[in-house]
């Protein structure tokens, strides 16, 4: 599932590719995605991300708002032809940009451009003090708390596991029991991992591809996610898989306390 670094990757690539251009045609190819109306002829002012939401701002104040959900991605093609599982098409002179989504959970709607989704962005608005305050009244495990999109919009399972490992924090710990120093350490780890993953265009362990159909590279930097039974690079212990808040969770019992 695309998480913050993958959505940020495609956001930057779309911005570079289509900002300032006039949409020649915009067509829904699969009605399950939503009913965005006809936006042909409008100029794209910018492409923005909040959490896992992607917004293409149009002249006139509205925006096309996408959520990629499980398997959604964008694909730019210069040649003619429609790729498999295409659900939506933007066309510009000389290039077509498709939303491709094999599992068909991605959504699209036309919204007022100023509207924001609830939840502070997990990278741009990350704040250790605010997180600690929000956690005070909660009994959930830190890992489940991190995945709450109203708390850390854009956080997902892979990067939550990796950030907790980097911070040395056990994913089962009650979130309200973390010390101020641990919140700072966790916030620094989240920021570090997101920035690195964005610079490597995300994690392609299953079907993630960028706007140009290329895999990301961050799967080569994962330390715990998907590595049950492997040796921990820090303490030599064995990486374990457990379930926290209903989600598969990878961690090192030796050095995450």
The catalytic residue positions are 2-3, 52, 247
Size of the site for Zn ion (CB under 5 A): 7
Q: Nearest distance from residue 177's CB to Zn ion, in Å?
A: 21
Stretch that binds Zn ion, among 28-36, 88-96, 196-204, 224-232 (CB under 5 A): 224-232
- Interface map 226-245 toward Zn ion (x if CB under 5 A): ------x-xx-x--------
Q: Nearest distance from residue 185's CB to Zn ion, in Å?
A: 16
Give whichever of 211 and 232 is closer to Zn ion, judged by the CB atom.
232
Q: Which residues contact 192 (CB under 8 A, 6 or more apart)?
A: 166
Q: How far is CA 155 from CA 92, 99, 151, 174, in A?
A: 32, 22, 9, 18
Give whichever of 69 and 173 is closer to Zn ion, judged by the CB atom.
173
CB atoms near residue 248 (< 10 Å): 13
254 scored as a contact of Zn ion (CB under 5 A):
yes
Stretch that binds Zn ion, among 67-75, 80-88, 143-151, 246-254 (CB under 5 A): 246-254
- Interface map 182-221 toward Zn ion (x if CB under 5 A): ----------------------------------------
C-alpha 233/C-alpha 33 separation (Å) is 43
172 scored as a contact of Zn ion (CB under 5 A):
no
Give whichever of 129 and 237 is closer to Zn ion, judged by the CB atom.
237
Give whichever of 29 and 255 is closer to Zn ion, judged by the CB atom.
255
Give whichever of 102 and 254 is closer to Zn ion, judged by the CB atom.
254
Q: Nearest distance from residue 116's CB to Zn ion, in Å?
A: 39
Rule CB under 5 A: which residues touch Zn ion?
232, 234-235, 237, 252, 254-255
């Amino acid at each position: 599932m695309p998480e913050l670094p993958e959505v940020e990757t495609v956001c930057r690539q779309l911005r570079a590719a289509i900002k300032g251009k006039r949409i020649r045609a915009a067509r829904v190819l699969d009605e399950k995605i939503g009913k965005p109306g006809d936006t042909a002829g409008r100029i794209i002012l910018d492409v923005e991300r909040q959490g896992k939401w992607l917004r293409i701002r149009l002249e006139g104040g509205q925006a096309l708002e996408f959520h990629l959900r499980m398997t959604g991605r964008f694909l730019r093609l210069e040649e003619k032809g429609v790729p498999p599982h295409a659900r939506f098409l933007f066309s510009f002179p000389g290039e077509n940009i498709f939303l491709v989504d094999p599992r068909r959970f991605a959504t699209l709607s036309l919204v007022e451009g100023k509207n924001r989704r609830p939840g502070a962005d997990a990278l741009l608005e990350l704040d250790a003090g605010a997180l600690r305050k929000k956690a005070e009244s909660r009994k959930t495990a830190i890992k489940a708390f991190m995945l709450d999109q109203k708390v850390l919009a854009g956080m997902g399972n892979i990067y939550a596991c990796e950030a907790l490992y980097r911070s040395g924090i056990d994913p089962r710990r009650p979130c309200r029991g973390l010390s101020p120093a641990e919140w700072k350490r966790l916030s620094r780890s989240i920021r570090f991992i997101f920035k690195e993953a964005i610079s490597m265009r995300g994690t392609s362990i299953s079907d993630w591809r960028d706007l140009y159909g290329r895999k990301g590279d961050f799967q080569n930097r994962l330390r715990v996610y998907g590595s049950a039974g492997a040796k921990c690079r820090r303490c030599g212990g064995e990486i374990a898989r457990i379930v926290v808040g209903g989600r598969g969770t990878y961690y090192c019992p030796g050095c995450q306390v």
